[in-house]
Structures are given as C-alpha cells and as structure tokens.
Amino acid sequence: MPAEYLFAGKYAAFVLPAYGVTALGLGGAIMLSWHTYRRAGRKLAEVEKTNTLSRAPDASGAAED
C-alpha cells in the first residue's frame, strides 16, 4: 500500500478530515453505547442484589405477587 494513497494525495486536506470525523462519530457512538450498556447492567445487578437482600429475611416485599 503506497504511502501516497494513505495520505490521499493532494486532496488529503479533505479526505483525511472526512475519515477522521467519521471515525470520531462512529467510534464515539460505539464507546458511549457500550459504556451505558455496561453501566445499566451493573446498575440492574446492584438493584437485584439489594432487592433480594431486603426481601429474603421477611419475604414481605413480594407478597402481592
């Protein structure tokens, strides 16, 4: 792969920013989505844990079920 292709010749000033913005946008979306996904999973596990802990002794929490 010749280096001049990689640097997109005399139009590099337009080609590289286009790829850069795309990488930033898509990469940002991937990272953000993944991050919130993991956080949501952790939060749910946490809530589930506190729920079972508070319920286990007296079992009144889920009485209406």
Partner 1 sequence: MFAYANPKRFMEVSAPLLPWLAGATAVAFAAGLYLSVAAPPDYQQGDTVRIMFIHVPAAWVAMMAYGFLALASLIGLINRHPLADVAAKQAAPLGALFTALALITGSLWGRPMWGTYWEWDGRLTSFLLLFFLYLGYIALWNAIENETRAARAAAILALVGVVNLPIIQFSVQWWTTLHQGESILRRGGPLIAAVYLWPLFIMAAGYTLLFFTLLMVRMRTEILQRRARTLAMGGPNAG
Binding residues for partner 1, rule: CB under 8 A, are 1, 5-6, 8-12, 14-15, 17-19, 21-22, 25-26, 29-30, 33-34, 36-37, 40-41, 43-44, 47-48, 51, 61-62, 64-65
CB of 26 to partner 1, least distance (A): 7
| Structure tokens given for 24 | 């930033």
CB of 56 to partner 1, least distance (A): 14
| Structure tokens given for 3 | 């280096």
- Cα separation, 37 vs 31, in Å, equals 10
